[in-house]
Structure 1
C-alpha cells in the first residue's frame, strides 16, 4: 500500500489500483472546512496523474458521519466581513466538488453515517453512492439563511428530479437511506455490517472488466449528461468508442472472449 503526501485532514492510500480517501475530522462529523477542501483538491490532482488507479473510494472516519457538510463557523458575520473571501471560497468548493466527477476513474462515496449539506453535495458529484441503511441525508441550507452552492442545484435536479430536489431544499428536512435509494440519490442502502462487502464487490466488478473501457465509459456518460443534444452526445460517444476500439485492452479481451466460445 502506498500512502500519498501527508495531509492535514484526510488520508490517501493506494493499494492494488484502488485509492482510498478518508476524512479525519470525526470530532466535528467530518465537516468540510477550507483545509479539507484544499486537501481533497490536491489529492484528486495527484490521483489524476496515476492512470493505474482503477477506482477511488471515499469515506469518513468513525461510524457517525460521512460528512456533516460545511463548517458553519466560517460563515458567521456580515457579507462585508467576507467579501471577497466567500466568493473565493465558493469557487474553491465548486472546483473541489467537480474533482470526483472529472476524475479518470470511477469514484465511490462510501457513506457510513450523516451525509448532509456540503457533504451530500460532494457525494452527489461522485459516480456511485453506497450507504448504510441508518444514514441520514439532507440539504439544510435554508435553516441558516443560505442556498445550495457549488453547482449542486443542477446536480440535484439531475439525480433526483426537479420536484424532489425542491422538496429537499425548501424544507431543509432529512431523509433516511431507504428513501434516498428510492429516489435515486444513492445506489444501494445496506446494513452497516454489509457496507464493506458491498463496496468491495463493486470495486472488484470494476477491476474484473476492461479497466480502460470503464474509464472511457465514464467519459462518454458524463459527456452525454452535458451534451446539448442527442446528436452531440452521439458524436462524442463515437469518438470515445473509436479511442477504446484502438486499445490493446479491447483487442486482447475480444480475443479472449472468442477463444472461450
Structure 2
C-alpha cells in the first residue's frame, strides 16, 4: 500500500507505522513537497485499519523538524501569487488536521529541534516524547511572520494562552523541561533512552483493546473540540455505544471477569 516518497519514508512493522522526515541537511524542514508526501502518507495510513500506532520522527540527531522551509517565503509579497499561497496554507492546515484525525494514536518522537511548523506538527499528534536536549519554540515573529496552520488554537489548548503569547511574542526557544512543565510534552528522556521510551508507550497501547483505544481517541478529540459540554457528552455517549457493541468489548469483559 505504501509507495515511494520524495522527502519522507513510511515503514510498517507489527501494527506500527513510522513516518520519518528525510531532510537532515535542512533540519527536516517542512516544504510543499514534504507536505504533499505527508498528505499522501496520512491518507494511506487512515485507510489501513491494521495500524495500531503512528510514530512521527526526523532523520538524524539534530532536529525533529525545524519548521517551514523559509526559502519558500522569501521576497516581496508582490512576487508571490496569492492563490498559490492560499493553496499552500490550506495544504499545511489539511496535513495537520489529517494527522490529528488519524484513527490510530499518534506519537511525536522528538529527537532535536522542534520549532515553528515542526512544533505545530507535533502539537497535532496525540502524544509527544522528547530527548532532554531538544529545544522548542514558535519563532515566527523573528522572520516577520504570524503562526498559521491552526496553530494558535491548538497550541493554546495545550499550553494555554499566556504561554503561547510569550513564545510567539519573544520568539524565544525553551528547553525540554520547560516544554514539559508547560504541558506540551508527555515525557522527557535522555537521548540514549528515546527509542525504549517510545517503544514502551507503543507496547502499552498495543496491549489494550485497539478498538477501544481508537474510539477513545474519537471521544476525547470530539470533547476537546466541542462547542459546549452538552455536545461533548452527546458525542461521547454515541462513541461509547459504538464501542459497547463490538466483539472486542464482550471478549475483554469476559476475560476480565474470568481472571
User: By the TM > 0.5 criterion, same fold?
Assistant: yes
**What does 1:77-88 align with in structure 2 at a 5 Å threshold?**
77-82=75-80, 83-88=82-87
1:16 maps to 2:20: no
Q: Structure 1, residues 18-72: CA drift from partner, whole Å, max 9, x if none? A: 0001000000100001110000000000000001100000100000000000000
CA distance in 2, matches of 1:241, 1:4: 32
Matching residue of 2:43: 45
Task: Report the Cα offset of residue 78 of structure 1.
Answer: 1.8
1:249 maps to 2:257: no
Task: Report the Cα offset of residue 226 of structure 1.
Answer: 1.1
SS of equivalent residue, structure 1 residue 14: strand
Task: Report the Cα offset of residue 198 of structure 1.
Answer: 0.7
Task: Report the Cα offset of residue 137 of structure 1.
Answer: 0.3
CA distance in 1, matches of 2:79, 2:46: 36
SS of equivalent residue, structure 1 residue 59: strand
Report the TM-score, using the length of structure 2 for normalisation: 0.98
SS of equivalent residue, structure 2 residue 3: coil
CA distance in 1, matches of 2:184, 2:249: 33
Poorly superposed stretches of 4+, deviation over 2 Å: none
CA distance in 1, matches of 2:47, 2:130: 28
Q: Structure 1, residues 115-156: CA drift from partner, whole Å, max 9, x if none? A: 010000000000000000000001010011110000000011
Q: What do you get for the CA RMSD once the two structures are aligned?
A: 0.8
CA distance in 2, matches of 1:189, 1:171: 24
Matching residue of 2:238: 239
CA distance in 1, matches of 2:90, 2:231: 28
1:143 maps to 2:104: no
1:76 maps to 2:74: yes
Matching residue of 2:206: 207
Q: 1:8, 1:39 within 8 Å by CA — same for their partners in 2?
A: yes
CA distance in 2, matches of 1:223, 1:141: 29
Kindly tell me the number of residue pairs found equivalent between the two proteins. 258
